[in-house]
């Protein structure tokens, strides 16, 4: 969790006060600090690249805003894309095709054709996908996603590496898959696995690396296949709570790279951080619009709900909150911070000790850069909010707020219903 210093009871973000940002752009609004984004990328890139040649594949599903992507392109990032839409977005942001890796699941033939037409390498998830790809472009560069039977994550919904998950080719069949790929004329370049999301310990990453190294060595010995890279996936967590500690990425890099260098001939490691790079760069600002007290609870009603940030409701996730215009003041009363959505599950925070609130106060929801706007919706016909980028005291609008017209634009009413 990022720490912010109070300046005259105001919360600063990127050299600006949160209240000034809210005044200029309205609420709710996602606010991203460019310097924090660059710092996060450089920290993890440095940790790995000092150990061995490294490719950082930013997992753009976390946040695919074009401005965010442009910053990461400038930093030298590659891309982990999970759909043709993400591929198109990253191409538009200026990434060359060979710096994007398409890692889909349940991929249709049509999507394979589109990805191939863009010249983007493909990370194969199944025998079916591989065989269909071979009929489209038999010499296309590929890697393989193995299910390593090593799973971890902050919620059952995000554990991807267990043998019961839908992802990847079972490790017992992966050598067979590479053998068939060679017979089909495909060009295997790498090996990939992903254990889950929000992982805060080094051990699961070590375990999956050992699985990948063992497979790479077997491929060398049985098929004479020397891969270019091992991709250990993403899922590095961040501390959402004050008392939690950040992942030691220097230790993580040493543990992973030492096993690759000593166990096989692969010369490059790839890693796919998304949350780690972008989560703590962004604060969601939302205004208190209604206050309600019952015999059981005290509610602070705000103008952002689970249509704006779904993680607390969907995953039971914790996000720290503070009062940006009363920043640093001690807590007095316990509040549930709730939104305008017509659902009892619409909340951003529960039982939080905050300064006494008034209508018009500004709530800051921390660590909202990953899977915040990306998972937002138009539920209850509420338009999605603005995004703003701040840097050294200046702010730029990087996404307009939607309108009701945007929600209705693609709907069609049959003429027979117009009578």
Residues 309 and 361 in one domain: yes
Q: What's the pLDDT band for 43 if we cut at 50, 70, 90?
A: very high
User: What would the mean pLDDT of 387-409 be, rounded to a whole number?
Assistant: 98
User: What would the mean pLDDT of 272-282 be, rounded to a whole number?
Assistant: 97
Residue 254 lies in a domain: yes
Residue 418 lies in a domain: no
Instruction: Quick: pLDDT tens for 180-195.
Output: 999 999 999 999 999 9
Q: Judge whether 233 and 147 are in contact, CB under 8 Å.
A: no
Number of domains the chain is built from: 2
Residues 223 and 308 in one domain: no
Q: Judge whether 357 and 404 are in contact, CB under 8 Å.
A: no
Q: Judge whether 385 and 28 are in contact, CB under 8 Å.
A: yes
Cα–Cα distances (Å) from 13 to 8, 176, 331, 354, 363, in that order, read: 14, 52, 21, 20, 13
Q: Which residues have a Cβ under 8 Å from the Cβ of 174 and sit 6 or more positions away?
A: 144, 146, 191, 215
User: What would the mean pLDDT of 302-320 be, rounded to a whole number?
Assistant: 97
Crossing angle for the helix pair 249-263 and 34-49, to the nearest 10 degrees: 30
In the chain, what's the furthest Cα-to-Cα distance? 75
Residue 283 pLDDT > 60, yes or no?
yes
Residue 163 lies in a domain: yes
Q: Whole-angstrom Cα distance, residue 377 to residue 147?
A: 31
Q: Among 221, 245, 278, where does a domain finish? A: 278
Phi first, then psi: what are they for 359, rounded to 5°? -60, 135
| CATH number of the domain where residue 364 is located | 2.40.37.10
What's the mean per-residue pLDDT of the chain? Answer: 95
Residue 176 lies in a domain: yes
Kindly provide the b/e burial profile for residues 99-120, where b requires at least 16 CB atoms within 10 angstroms of the residue's own CB. bbbbbbbebeeebbebbbeeeb
Residues 297 and 224 in one domain: no
Residues 273 and 321 in one domain: no
Residues 103 and 158 in one domain: yes
Specify the pLDDT at position 158: 46
Task: Tell me which of 131-140, 142-151, 386-395 is least confident.
Answer: 142-151
Residues 80 and 26 in one domain: no
Residues 69 and 180 in one domain: yes
Cα–Cα distances (Å) from 307 to 290, 330, 361, 367, in that order, read: 18, 30, 21, 17
Residues 24 and 43 in one domain: no
Residue 414 lies in a domain: no
Residue 29 pLDDT > 50, yes or no?
yes
Instruction: Quick: pLDDT tens for 73-119.
Output: 999 999 999 999 999 999 999 999 999 999 999 999 999 999 999 99
Set 90, 264, 342, 385: catalytic member: 342
Q: Whole-angstrom Cα distance, residue 126 to residue 297?
A: 50
Portion of the chain with pLDDT greater than 70, in percent: 97
Residue 1 lies in a domain: no
Q: Whole-angstrom Cα distance, residue 322 to residue 363?
A: 6
Specify the pLDDT at position 351: 98
Q: Among 263, 278, 293, where does a domain finish? A: 278
Q: Whole-angstrom Cα distance, residue 144 to residue 227?
A: 11
Q: Judge whether 267 and 217 are in contact, CB under 8 Å.
A: no
Q: What's the pLDDT band for 161 if we cut at 50, 70, 90?
A: low
Q: For residue 385, indicate whether it is catalytic.
A: no
Q: Among 249, 278, 307, where does a domain finish? A: 278
The 3-state secondary structure of the chain, one letter per residue: CCCCCCECCECEECCEEHHHHHHHHCCCEEEEEHHHHHHHHHHHHHHHHCCCCEEEEEEHHHCCCHHHHHHHHHHCCEEEECCHHHHHHHHHCCCCHHHEEECCCCCCHHHHHHHHHCCCCEEECCHHHHHHHHHHCCCCEEEEEEECCCCCCCCHHHECCCCCCCCCEEHHHHHHHHHHHHHHCCEEEEEECCCECCECCCHHHHHHHHHHHHHHHHHHHHHCCCCCEEEEEECECCCCCCCCCCCCHHHHHHHHHHHHHHHCCCCEEEEECCHHHHHHHEEEEEEEEEEEECCCCEEEEECCCCCCCCHHHHHCCCCCEEEHHHCCCCCCEEEEEECCCCCCCCEEEEEEEECCCCCCCEEEECCCCCCCHHHCCCHHHCCCCEEEEEECCEEEEEECCCCHHHHHCCCCCCHHHHC
Q: Whole-angstrom Cα distance, residue 349 to residue 337?
A: 5
Residues 179 and 298 in one domain: no
Residue 413 lies in a domain: no
Specify the pLDDT at position 200: 87
Residues 216 and 297 in one domain: no
Residue 156 pLDDT > 90, yes or no?
no
Specify the pLDDT at position 301: 98
Residues 60 and 193 in one domain: yes
Q: Domain range holding 149?
A: 34-278
Distance of CA 239 to the CA centre of its chain: 15
Residue 2 lies in a domain: no
Specify the pLDDT at position 317: 95
Specify the pLDDT at position 162: 58
Residues 17 and 154 in one domain: no
Q: Whole-angstrom Cα distance, residue 287 to residue 102?
A: 39
Specify the pLDDT at position 163: 62
User: What would the mean pLDDT of 259-282 be, rounded to a whole number?
Assistant: 97
Q: Are strands 282-293 and 362-365 parallel, antiparallel or unpaired?
A: antiparallel
| CATH number of the domain where residue 250 is located | 3.20.20.10
Instruction: Quick: pLDDT tens for 44-76.
Output: 999 999 999 999 999 999 999 999 999 999 999
Residue 359 pLDDT > 90, yes or no?
yes
Residue 155 pLDDT > 80, yes or no?
no
């Amino acid at each position: 969790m990022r720490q912010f210093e109070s300046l005259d009871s105001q919360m600063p973000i990127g050299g600006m006060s949160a209240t000034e940002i809210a005044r200029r752009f309205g609420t709710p609004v996602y606010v991203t600090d460019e310097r924090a984004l660059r710092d996060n990328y450089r920290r993890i890139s440095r940790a790995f690249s000092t150990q061995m040649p490294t490719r950082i594949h930013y997992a753009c599903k976390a946040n695919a805003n074009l401005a965010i992507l442009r910053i990461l392109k400038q930093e030298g990032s590659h891309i982990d894309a999970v759909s043709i839409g993400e591929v198109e977005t990253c191409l538009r942001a200026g990434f060359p095709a060979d710096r994007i890796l398409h890692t889909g699941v349940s991929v249709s033939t049509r999507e394979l054709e589109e990805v191939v037409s863009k010249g983007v390498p493909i990370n194969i998830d199944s025998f079916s996908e591989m065989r269909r790809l071979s009929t489209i472009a038999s010499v296309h560069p590929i890697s393989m996603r193995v299910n390593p039977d090593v799973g971890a994550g902050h919620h059952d919904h995000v554990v991807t590496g267990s043998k019961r998950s839908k992802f990847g080719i079972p490790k017992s069949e992966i050598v067979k898959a590479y053998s068939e790929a060679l017979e089909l004329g495909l060009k295997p370049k790498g090996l990939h696995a992903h254990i889950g999301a929000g992982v805060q310990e080094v051990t699961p990453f070590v375990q999956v690396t050992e699985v990948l190294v063992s497979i790479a060595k077997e491929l060398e010995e049985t098929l004479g296949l020397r891969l270019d890279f091992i991709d250990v996936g993403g899922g590095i967590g961040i501390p959402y709570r004050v008392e939690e500690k950040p992942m030691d990425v220097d230790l993580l890099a040493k543990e992973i790279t030492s096993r690759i260098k000593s166990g096989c001939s692969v010369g490059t490691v790839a890693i796919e951080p998304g949350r780690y790079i972008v989560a703590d760069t962004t604060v969601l600002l939302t205004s208190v619009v209604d206050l309600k007290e019952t015999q059981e609870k005290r509610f602070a009603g705000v103008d952002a709900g689970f249509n704006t940030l779904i993680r607390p409701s969907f995953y039971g996730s914790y996000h720290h909150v503070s009062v940006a215009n009363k920043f640093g003041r001690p807590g007095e009363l316990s509040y549930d911070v709730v939104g305008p959505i017509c659902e009892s599950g619409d909340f951003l925070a529960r039982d939080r000790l905050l300064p006494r609130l008034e209508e018009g106060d500004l709530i800051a929801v921390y660590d909202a850069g990953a899977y915040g706007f990306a998972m937002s919706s138009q539920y209850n016909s509420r338009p999605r909010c603005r995004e703003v980028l701040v840097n050294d005291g200046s702010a730029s609008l990087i996404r307009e707020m939607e309108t009701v017209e945007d929600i209705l634009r693609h709907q069609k009413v049959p003429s027979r219903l117009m009578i």
